[in-house]
Chains A and B, each alone.
Chain A
């Protein structure tokens, strides 16, 4: 990695790690959650939907600020969280991970809910008619049946987490190897008028973003042809 310096390489790896973990957790949480909402249509569904959509309209710095307040170890819930994770959350990787989870939640939730709403019941019924139990239908019939939406939700989540700036800066600061993600590093380069470094980082982020979008499009088309 002679092309970018080791500090930026560290930021790149940290960013990819953050995006990958965020995406994995959001998929694992949102799939059952949205399926439950679609199947049961519980009272309060609109409230849940609205809450999930909140990060979309809230300025990231506002979200980051409230998280920072919440993470404060001097009072709950920050003190409880600190005990739960056995560490202080502000200015830590776990802290920015929690921030990313909330910040990218709508990008996972929305496409999954829409796809499950549209195709889920028919897929589930097909499995039911064939006599498969509920967990089997969900894992092997419903989830593969909405694969394009699943891939596109995952890609969106991933790409969106890569570009996260405001929330990370608020609750994470700029600690190399812990919270210094690429967008923060890029900002720092620009501040220090290191335009060569900034160019390289920006280019790397651009390439990742474009390939993510291409991959999700390609996966959708492959499914259509099937």
Chain B
């Protein structure tokens, strides 16, 4: 119970610190503006006004969520080292794993609240366009849930990299893995097409080793009002939980070995 309380305290402070970041508000405002623009954009197209709004709205939530996760996530550990506040924290009865888990949960909470705000903006835009909301519109919430799972992975990656590298490099690494993670299926297919056992094996290993972000991409489906199969809900949830466990375990093992001077 003591450990949980300590993690919660660090998470609470991380959340408070995160909401003070100016970049966060810039990104939220920009995302909400983009959703508003979707209404205008839809009006100059034919037949897909709502599809555009859903695509642009959910994509904004996803892209800006990832940017927030990276920009704030990479500073989680490095800022504490830079400001030397880490020494104060670790000199108290707080273990390093508790510190990392608290940081992770704090940023995740920030992202959940930001995503909720952006989702609210998205539904307001939808309401403005359709003049009413219906039960089928709730389908977008499933896509939002998958975006949150994706963000949980991105925060984990940013935290892992921030334990081993500088903030700038951590941002580059995290973003690169995010991009590669969107094309893992293609990478594996490419390996199979080369008909080279070595390349095929390598791409196969990469396919399972790196986080598969394309698993969570259901925005296009939702934009067309197509239901999300039940197995996606459980498999994606389980996948995200397991992968976050890997990232946090890795971060803890590295952070435990790290020496601070």
Same complex: no
Q: Which residues of A contact B (CB under 8 A)?
A: none
Q: Which residues of B contact A (CB under 8 A)?
A: none
